[in-house]
A and B are shown apart, each in its own frame.
Chain A
Amino acid sequence: MLDRRDFLKLGGATAFAALFGGCERLPRKIVPFVIPPENHKLGEALWYASVCRQCPAGCGIVVRVAEGRAKKIEGNPLHPVNRGKLCARGQAGLQVLYHPERLGRPLILSGPRGSGKFREASWEEAIAALMAGMKKVRTDDPASLLMLTEPMRGHANLVAARFMRAFGSPHRVAWDPFGQDALLSACDAVFGVRDVPEYDIAGARYVLSFSGDFLETGLSPVHYGRAYGRMRQERPTVRGKLVHFGPRLSMTAANADVYLPIAPGTEGLAALGIAHVMVKEKLSPAAAAASSLWGSGLDRMTPDAVAQATGLVAADIAAVAREFAGNRPGLAIAGDAAASCTNGTFNVACAALLNALAGSVGAPGGVSFPNRLAPFSRYGADAALLLPPPESGYPALREAIGKMERGAFRMALLSGAANPAFCLPASLKFGEALLKVPLVVSFASFLDETTSLSDLVLPVPTYLEEWGDDIAPAGHAGDAVTLSQPVVDAYRDTRAMSDILIAAGKELGGPVAAALPWASFRECVDKAYGGKGVNLEEARRQGGIFTGKPGPSRPTPKAARPALPKPSAAAFEGDPAKYPFVLHVYPSIAHADGRGANLTWLQEMPDPVTTAVWRNWVEIAPETARRLGLADGDGVTVTSPSGSLEAFVVIHPAIAAGVAAMPLGQGHARYGQHAAGRGGNPFALLPAGEDAGSKGPARQSTRVALAKAKVAGTLVRTVNVEGQWKYENIL
């Protein structure tokens, strides 16, 4: 007879098997051919071309798909932006697709508002709730509908814009914390074109970077990274030189031939010091002709004066100026840290001025303004909707927050990876304002700080499961449209936002239905690009429509006689006696504004400069550490007038004195298990500052105090790449 012990043993084995057998298996069919093609080889992977949406750069990708599953993402060799290259964030896109925390069912709020407690609902119930809200708002007050997204582009933006217009609401806000507001204002002031320029780094002989971290973050890191490689190695006898000014040794700075640390917010002054020498010594024809600048204040920007303000050495400024002017084409690029100061427009405009003085405007190896609108002329006024909006949307968002607080919005539609509740300064109280909107609907793949404040969350497909189109913000001359297609069948029960809007339009009827006359978003894209001599199937196979025939560049009316940008100093909140260090925050190469923080591949990717993984840190100079009694890896409290957080110390010899640098992106409270417990959110330290010239966000605008503290855990750094200075005890 079977006794109890034997039964339990066998029963245990059964339960164990049942546990694993019961793991959710994907519904999988294995479908053979009816008649196989001759010489067909089974199991060989297919490569589908599409677009990467891990950051706004818009690189082309090809995805290896075997037996219906996406297995590897690579760069599309035919795509003009990245030419077969892809960065780590692009590679990590597979984890977005397969993420265990991805939303697969609509969620309806089940706890108090803002609690983040949801219950799963059917699509019928969710769409009914959405439509009930929309119909009520449309009858009562259509203008009280708010749509807050990350900057959208291509036909997805056209659909959203037309929906809002026909609905009767002007309140569309696109928010990107790293928008190019200062660059737009500066280009408008110096060149007379309000657009994002194209930098021909590959063709330049000499590149000046003013906190322009173009190799790791910024507008199009893969494109510029490749261009940088070509600048160095493509021409047999020319090896381009890169000189980097900035408060921190970034990855770009580490790649430069010369890295000159400067005080934060003085990038513009450094550029004017170079301009002073160029004009004074008439080092280039354009500089010789720019005598009008001299009288308007450039004469005072002597290397000595600039050296004092920036922390540079006067002789270095003069030497760089002579080299820059003597090795044309020369290119000056100002980056995010220069642009996101309270004097951001001034900093960027000064770099732009150097391009004008070097005669690099519209020339190979310089800056140009391709007419990216030209291929879409048939859209008339709507053509601009297809291009990526470069602005941050900061002023509009602040205005919207004010309106939310006053109860002007009755419904809000949120979408995209831009997470305002996480990456806006805490003093703007975005979260509290959003909860004053009676109905908040999010279109999202993940719950994050913003989407968890919603009443209704509608799961959307990832970019690997979606039809669409895309126009990259940089890296092409308006001759490239990227087409995206689902590389795999949808893994979860999701619906694209554009499809929901089109269906909602049909149900609302009237002008909204008329504005969106398609059955689906795919039909919208197909009709836009199909026909007219374009074989859509072939174009999708290639990854897009790359004509390779750039149109004429836009004219730069002011470039010939540039005006001197009005010098202004960067302001930093906080009393220097109480808060002795200037906080320099920079987008993390792995997480950008924080959207990549829930992907383990990106969390475990060592930061290229500090090799730190999984946690937040603050970089300080060795003498600062000595003064505060801090050792590498110590816990520290970082306090600004706006907030405080805990981090680990990384001592770095190449950071400007008096600066504490922190990467952005970590510190999520509600972004899943992999993003949790990684330290504080540096956005919470920032005041609600703005760049005076463009009203864009000013992140480099606060001082901080550091104090030793006990912080749980340790900062893991994979290897020591600092080299000699550590071993020789320079610290």
Chain B
Amino acid sequence: MIRPPCQAAFVAALLLFAATACVAVAQPPQPIKYSHQLHVTVNKIDCRFCHSSATKTASAGIPSVEKCMMCHRVIAVDSPEIKKIAQYWTEKKPIPWNRVTELPDYTYFPHFRMVNAGVACLTCHPGMDKADAAVQRQEFTMGFCLKCHRSRGVSIDCWTCHI
């Protein structure tokens, strides 16, 4: 029997969607519908413009409300989502984002070391540039880290990450 490939692909896609949705299902919706796709792919904004700590500190950081407002004082001010940001800004309240990307507590991961060594953001955050709602598509298992560490000849000593 000839299998119509599109049907199998459709079910596969459906199930995979269910799988990723299960990973993401624990995530409550974000307070603001922020689209990485729109900012990164369409408008070509560098990741490090918003996540500016990535080159300086262990944590990549989430942009402050002030940084959002730098642009959105003038850009797309009538959009309902931007109005929400403006509301936070007027009330001088931080935006309570829900954390998406998880790294286990017992590891030390300095963003600035990777970023300054030229590791592209998308290596560990694949598909983030195309995502409308941020999802963690890559589980940070030790094997994943070590694969890269080995291929680049970086230290794989236990204490490098587990300090």
A28 to B19, CA, bound (A): 22
Are A21's CB and B23's CB within 8 A? Answer: yes
User: Which residues 4-62 in B have Cβ within 8 Å of A in the complex?
Assistant: 4, 7-8, 11-12, 15-16, 18-20, 22-26, 53, 56-62
Are B94's CB and A43's CB within 8 A? Answer: no
Binary contact track A1-18/B, C-beta < 8 Å → 1, others 0: 111001100110110011
A33 to B95, CA, bound (A): 8
A13 to B16, CA, bound (A): 8
Are A34's CB and B88's CB within 8 A? Answer: yes
A33 to B93, CA, bound (A): 8
Are A33's CB and B15's CB within 8 A? Answer: no
B126 close to A (CB within 8 Å): no
Chain B proximity of A536: nearest CB distance (Å)? 26
Between A13, A33, A67, the greatest number of chain B beta carbons within 10 A of the residue's beta carbon is seen for A33
Across-interface contacts of B144 in A (CB, < 8 A): none
Chain A proximity of B121: nearest CB distance (Å)? 16
A142 to B109, CA, bound (A): 58
Are B19's CB and A2's CB within 8 A? Answer: no
Report if A29-B23 is in contact (Cβ < 8 Å); known contacts: A1-B4, A1-B7, A34-B89: no
Between B19, B89, B96, the greatest number of chain A beta carbons within 10 A of the residue's beta carbon is seen for B19
Chain A proximity of B13: nearest CB distance (Å)? 10
Are B61's CB and A43's CB within 8 A? Answer: yes
A100 close to B (CB within 8 Å): no
Across-interface contacts of A32 in B (CB, < 8 A): 61-65, 94-95, 97
A607 to B160, CA, bound (A): 28
A551 to B94, CA, bound (A): 49
A7 to B8, CA, bound (A): 9
B105 close to A (CB within 8 Å): yes
Between A1, A36, A43, A69, the greatest number of chain B beta carbons within 10 A of the residue's beta carbon is seen for A43
B152 close to A (CB within 8 Å): no
B1 close to A (CB within 8 Å): yes
Residues of chain A at the chain B interface (Cβ within 8 Å):
1-3, 6-7, 10-11, 13-14, 17-18, 20-22, 25, 28-36, 41-44, 67, 69, 71
B92 close to A (CB within 8 Å): yes
Are A42's CB and B22's CB within 8 A? Answer: no
A67 to B109, CA, bound (A): 13
B98 close to A (CB within 8 Å): yes
Are A34's CB and B57's CB within 8 A? Answer: no
What are 20 inter-chain pairs, A to B, with CB distance below 8 A?
A1-B3, A1-B4, A2-B8, A3-B3, A10-B11, A17-B19, A17-B20, A18-B22, A20-B23, A25-B102, A29-B99, A30-B98, A32-B64, A32-B94, A32-B97, A41-B57, A42-B57, A43-B59, A43-B61, A44-B58
Are A14's CB and B64's CB within 8 A? Answer: no
A25 to B100, CA, bound (A): 11
Known A10-B15, A22-B26; further 15 A-B contacts with Cβ < 8 A: A1-B1, A1-B8, A11-B15, A17-B23, A21-B24, A29-B96, A29-B99, A30-B97, A34-B92, A35-B65, A42-B53, A42-B60, A43-B57, A43-B61, A44-B57
Are A43's CB and B105's CB within 8 A? Answer: no
A30 to B8, CA, bound (A): 39
A11 to B65, CA, bound (A): 42
Find B59's partner among A10, A14, A31, A67 (CB 8 Å cutoff). A67
A20 to B24, CA, bound (A): 11
Are A18's CB and B19's CB within 8 A? Answer: yes
Are A31's CB and B95's CB within 8 A? Answer: yes
Are B18's CB and A14's CB within 8 A? Answer: yes
Across-interface contacts of A33 in B (CB, < 8 A): 64-66, 94
Main secondary structure of the interface of A (DSSP, over half): loop
Chain B proximity of A192: nearest CB distance (Å)? 53
A241 to B90, CA, bound (A): 70
Interface size of B by CB at 8 A reads 42
Across-interface contacts of B11 in A (CB, < 8 A): 2, 7, 10
Find B61's partner among A3, A10, A21, A42 (CB 8 Å cutoff). A42
Across-interface contacts of B95 in A (CB, < 8 A): 31-32
By beta carbon, the residue of chain B nearest A36 is B64
By beta carbon, the residue of chain B nearest A69 is B105
Are B94's CB and A31's CB within 8 A? Answer: yes
Find A21's partner among B22, B53, B56, B92 (CB 8 Å cutoff). B22
Chain A proximity of B135: nearest CB distance (Å)? 11
Across-interface contacts of A17 in B (CB, < 8 A): 19-20, 22-23
Instruction: Report the 7 A-B pairs with minimum CB-CB distance, sorted nearest first.
Output: A43-B59, A17-B19, A21-B22, A21-B23, A18-B22, A43-B58, A28-B99
Are A31's CB and B97's CB within 8 A? Answer: yes
By beta carbon, the residue of chain B nearest A16 is B19
Report if A2-B3 is in contact (Cβ < 8 Å); known contacts: A30-B62, A43-B57: yes
Across-interface contacts of B57 in A (CB, < 8 A): 41-44
A33 to B102, CA, bound (A): 20
By beta carbon, the residue of chain A nearest B103 is A67
Find B66's partner among A7, A31, A35 (CB 8 Å cutoff). A35
A14 to B19, CA, bound (A): 5
Between B3, B7, B22, the greatest number of chain A beta carbons within 10 A of the residue's beta carbon is seen for B22
A35 to B89, CA, bound (A): 9
Find A14's partner among B15, B25, B58, B65 (CB 8 Å cutoff). B15
Across-interface contacts of B92 in A (CB, < 8 A): 34
Are A29's CB and B105's CB within 8 A? Answer: no
Are B19's CB and A41's CB within 8 A? Answer: no
Chain A proximity of B77: nearest CB distance (Å)? 18
Find B12's partner among A10, A21, A31, A67 (CB 8 Å cutoff). A10
Are B19's CB and A6's CB within 8 A? Answer: no
A455 to B96, CA, bound (A): 40
A226 to B42, CA, bound (A): 63
Binary contact track B93-126/A, C-beta < 8 Å → 1, others 0: 1111111001001000001000000000000000
By beta carbon, the residue of chain B nearest A7 is B11
A729 to B106, CA, bound (A): 44
Report if A34-B93 is in contact (Cβ < 8 Å); known contacts: A2-B7, A21-B24: yes
